[in-house]
C-alpha cells in the first residue's frame, strides 16, 4: 500500500546501519574493496549484531545490484544515474535496494530513513528529490512494473542480474542460456556459511549437535562429507562451540572439493604452492592424518601468519609455512626437485566463480585483467612440474569459470609437457543453492599414479 506522508515526516529510526552501508558504497566507488571498506567503517562502532548484519546486507546487496539500480534511476529520475551527484546516487541505491529487493523492510522505513539520511548528512536540499524518486519507485513496484529490457539475450542477462556486458556475453558462450541464467542468479545470492569439520577431532554429527544446543541449526551438504551448512546467523562465530577447540573451520563447499582430489596419503610430502589463508593446506593435513609434511607457500608473509594460526587452532603439526615465490622454488631450493608426491596449485585468478562472495569483483574484473593473469598462471604451472615426484599428483585449481584460466591453461601445459597425463578435470559453476564456482584438473607424471 502507498506510504502515507505522515510516515515520511516522522523522526527516522534505524539510521545507523544504513549510514554505515552508505559509507561503504562511497568507499567502494572511490576504489576500496568492499570487505575492507566494511571492516573499516565498522571498526570502533558500537552496533548490535542485527545492525551489523543489516549494514552488511545493504552494502553488499547494493554493490552487487549496482547496474540494475542505475537502470531504475534512469527510468524514474530526471537526471541519468551516471550524471547524478555520486553521494546522491549511492544513497538512492540504498533506498531503492530496500524497496525493490528486501521484503522484510517496510516501505515506510525504507523511504523514511533514506530521506532522513539526506537531511542529516549534507544532502538536505535534495531530500525532496530522494522522497519523490523513492515514492515513484514504490508505485511502480506495487503496480508490477519492470525495467525495459534490451533486445539481445546478453543485454537482458546483464541488466536483469546486474552483470557487466562482457561477462554476460561470455557466460552465454561458455555454458548456454540455461546454465548462464543459473550462474547469473548465483552471483546475486548471499553465500551460505559452510563449515569443514576437522575429522581428527570430531565428526559432523557431533559438531551439529553442539551447535544445535547453542541455538545454531545446521544441515548436511550433498556431496560434501566433511561439511555442514549453518542455517541462519548467530553473532561472532569465534564464540561458537568447537571453534577454540579446532573442531571446525569455515570453508565453502566448493573449496572443500579440491583437497580430496589429491588423494594425499599419510607420510606424503605435499606442496600447497599458493596457500594463504590456508584452508586447503589444513584440509590436506587432516586428510593425511597429520602425518607427513605439508609445505604451505605464499609470497605474503603476513597472510602466512593466518595459515600458521589456523593450523595451530586445528591442532595440525605437519603444516610448514614458507614465504616465497612459488615460481622460483626450484631455483631457491634445488633439493626440492622431484620431492613432492602431491602438489596443489590453487592459482591466482580472476575469481569469477566467487562474485556472490566478493560483491565488488564484477565491477573490477575486465577481459584485460583476465588476460594479464594468464602468463602468471602458466609460469606457476610450469614451475610445479619439476618439483613433482614420479607418479605424483598435481592439482591445478582456480575459483574462476573463465576457460582461458582453466582448461586452456591445462591444454597448453599438456601439449608442452608430453610426460604429463591428465587424470580428470571438472568445472563447477556457481550454484544458486550454494557453492562457489571452481575448476580443478588432476595431472600425473608418466607411470602409475601413487
* Domain end (from 233, 250, 267): 250
What pLDDT score does 430 carry? 97
Rounded Cα gap, residues 209 and 206, in angstroms = 5
Joined grid coordinates for residue 63: 554493490
Distance CA 96, CA 297 (A): 45
Residue-wise pLDDT for 39-70, tens only, equals: 999 997 888 888 999 999 999 999 999 999 99
Q: Report d(CA 394, CA 344) in Å as an integer.
A: 6
Per DSSP bridges, beta strands 224-231 and 217-221 are antiparallel
Question: Total structural domains in the chain?
Answer: 4
Please, are residues 337 and 392 in contact by the beta-carbon 8 Å criterion? Answer: no
The range of the structural domain enclosing residue 202 comes to 193-250
Residue 312, CB-side half-sphere exposure with 13 Å CA sphere: 7
Q: Do 407 and 285 sit in the same domain of this protein?
A: yes
Element housing 390 (H / E): strand 388-398
Residue whose C-alpha is closest to residue 433's, from 189, 194, 233, 251? 189
SS3 (DSSP) at 206: helix
The pLDDT score that the predictor gives to residue 6 is 40
Same domain, 207 and 265: no
CATH of residue 94? 1.10.940.10
Give yes or no for a contact between 195 and 228, defined as CB atoms under 8 angstroms apart.
yes
Q: What is the pLDDT of residues 311-359, one digit of tens each?
A: 999 999 999 999 999 999 999 999 999 999 999 999 999 999 999 999 9
pLDDT < 70 regions, the chain: 1-13, 447-450
> Are both 54 and 33 inside the same structural domain?
yes
Q: What is the pLDDT, as a whole number, of residue 309?
A: 93
Torsion of CA 85, 87, 89, 94, to 10 degrees: -170
153 phi and psi, to 5 degrees?
-60, -40
Whether residue 391 sits in one domain with residue 307: yes
The answer to whether position 276 is within a domain reads yes
C-alpha cell at 44: 570502533
- Residue 450, in any domain of the structure: no
8 A C-beta contact, residue 130 and residue 123:
yes
Is there a domain that residue 435 lies in? yes
Look up the CATH number of the domain holding residue 199: 3.30.70.1170
Indicate which residue of 249, 318, 349, 399 is catalytic: 399
| Catalytic status, residue 318 | no
Decide if 76 is inside a domain: yes
Give one DSSP letter per residue of 272-308, joined into a string.
ETT-TT-HHHHHHHHHTTT-SEEEEEES-HHHHHHHH
User: Is 420 in contact with 442 (CB distance < 8 Å)?
Assistant: no
Q: Are residues 268 and 158 part of one domain?
A: no
Q: Is residue 259 part of a domain?
A: yes
Whether 36 and 68 share a structural domain = yes
Q: Assess contact for 420 and 445: CB atoms under 8 A.
A: yes
Asked whether residue 238 falls in the same domain as residue 310, the answer is no
- Cα separation, 200 vs 207, in Å, equals 13
Cell of 386: 619439476
Q: What is the pLDDT of residue 46?
A: 86
Q: For residue 147, tell me if it sits in a domain.
A: no
Instruction: Report yes or no: 357 and 436 within 8 Å, Cβ to Cβ.
Output: yes
pTM: 0.92
Name the region of 105 (left: φ>0; alpha: ψ -120 to 50; beta: rest): beta
Please identify which residue in the block is written with the cell numbers 595451530: 312
CA distance 340 to 180: 38
Together in a domain, 95 and 57: yes
Distance CA 82, CA 41 (A): 25
Claim to verify: residue 69 and residue 95 sit in the same structural domain? yes
- Domain shared by 217 and 260, yes or no: no
DSSP per residue over 10-34, as a string? SPP--HHHHHHHHHHHHHHHTT--H
Whether residues 224 and 262 share a domain: the answer is: no
Longest dimension (CA), the chain: 78
pLDDT digits (tens, 9 = 90+) for 262-312: 999 999 999 999 998 889 999 999 999 999 999 999 998 888 999 999 999
| Dihedral pair phi/psi, residue 201, rounded to 5° | -130, -15
Whether the bond into 277 is cis, omega within 30 of 0 = yes
Long-range own/partner contacts, residues 299-307 (CB < 8 A, 24 or more apart): 299/323, 299/324, 299/325, 299/326, 300/276, 303/276, 303/277, 304/275, 304/276, 306/276, 306/277, 306/278, 307/275, 307/276, 307/277, 307/278, 307/281, 307/282
Helix H or strand E encompassing 218:
strand 217-221
The residues that bridge with 229 in the sheet, in sequence order, are: 194, 219
Short-list 334, 359, 347, 366, CA closest to 405: 347
DSSP 328-350: GHHHH-GGGTT-EEEEEEE----
Question: Are residues 180 and 198 both part of a single domain?
Answer: no
- Residue 148 in domain: no
Q: Does 347 fall in a domain?
A: yes
Q: What is the pLDDT of residue 447?
A: 52
Amino acid at each position: 500500500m502507498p506510504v502515507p506522508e505522515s510516515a515520511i515526516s516522522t523522526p527516522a529510526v534505524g539510521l545507523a546501519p544504513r549510514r554505515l552501508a552508505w559509507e561503504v558504497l562511497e568507499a567502494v566507488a572511490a576504489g576500496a574493496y568492499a570487505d575492507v571498506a566494511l571492516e573499516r567503517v565498522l571498526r570502533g562502532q558500537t552496533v548490535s549484531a542485527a545492525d551489523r548484519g543489516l549494514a552488511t546486507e545493504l552494502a553488499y546487496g547494493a554493490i552487487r545490484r549496482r547496474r540494475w539500480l542505475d537502470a531504475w534511476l534512469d527510468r524514474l529520475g530526471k537526471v541519468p544515474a551516471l550524471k547524478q551527484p555520486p553521494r546522491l546516487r549511492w544513497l538512492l541505491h540504498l533506498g531503492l535496494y530496500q524497496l525493490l529487493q528486501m521484503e522484510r523492510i517496510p516501505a515506510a522505513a525504507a523511504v523514511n530513513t533514506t530521506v532522513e539520511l539526506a537531511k542529516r548528512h549534507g544532502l538536505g536540499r535534495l531530500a525532496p528529490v530522494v522522497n519523490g524518486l523513492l515514492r515513484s519507485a514504490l508505485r511502480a513496484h506495487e503496480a508490477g512494473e519492470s525495467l525495459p529490457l534490451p533486445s539481445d539475450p546478453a543485454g537482458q542477462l546483464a541488466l536483469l542480474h546486474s552483470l557487466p556486458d562482457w561477462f554476460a556475453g561470455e557466460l552465454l558462450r561458455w555454458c548456454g542460456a540455461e546454465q548462464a541464467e543459473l550462474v547469473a542468479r548465483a552471483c546475486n545470492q548471499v553465500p551460505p556459511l559452510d563449515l569443514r569439520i576437522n575429522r581428527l577431532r570430531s565428526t559432523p554429527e557431533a559438531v551439529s549437535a553442539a551447535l544445535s544446543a547453542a541455538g545454531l541449526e545446521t544441515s548436511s551438504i550433498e556431496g560434501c562429507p566433511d561439511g555442514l551448512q549453518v542455517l541462519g546467523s548467530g553473532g561472532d562465530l569465534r564464540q561458537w562451540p568447537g571453534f577454540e577447540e579446532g573442531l571446525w573451520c569455515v570453508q565453502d563447499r566448493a573449496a572443500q572439493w579440491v583437497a580430496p582430489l589429491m588423494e594425499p596419503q599419510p607420510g606424503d610430502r605435499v606442496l600447497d604452492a599458493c596457500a594463504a589463508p590456508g584452508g586447503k593446506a589444513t584440509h590436506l593435513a587432516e586428510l593425511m592424518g597429520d602425518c607427513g609434511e605439508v609445505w604451505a607457500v605464499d609470497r605474503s608473509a603476513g597472510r602466512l601468519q593466518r595459515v600458521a594460526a589456523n593450523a595451530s587452532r586445528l591442532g595440525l603439526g605437519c603444516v610448514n609455512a614458507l614465504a616465497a615465490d612459488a615460481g622460483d622454488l626450484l631455483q631457491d631450493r634445488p633439493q626440492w626437485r622431484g620431492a613432492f608426491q602431491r602438489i596443489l596449485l590453487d592459482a591466482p585468478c580472476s575469481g569469477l566463480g566467487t562474485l556472490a562472495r566478493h560483491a565488488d569483483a564484477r565491477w573490477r574484473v575486465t577481459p584485460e585483467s583476465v588476460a594479464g593473469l594468464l602468463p602468471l598462471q602458466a609460469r606457476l604451472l610450469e614451475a610445479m612440474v619439476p618439483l613433482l615426484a614420479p607418479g605424483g599428483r598435481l592439482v591445478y585449481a582456480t575459483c574462476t569459470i573463465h576457460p582461458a584460466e582453466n582448461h586452456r591453461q591445462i591444454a597448453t601445459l599438456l601439449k608442452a609437457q608430453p610426460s604429463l597425463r591428465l587424470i580428470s578435470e571438472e568445472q563447477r559453476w556457481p550454484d544458486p543453492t550454494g557453492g562457489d564456482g571452481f575448476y580443478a584438473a588432476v595431472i600425473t607424471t608418466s607411470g602409475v599414479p601413487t
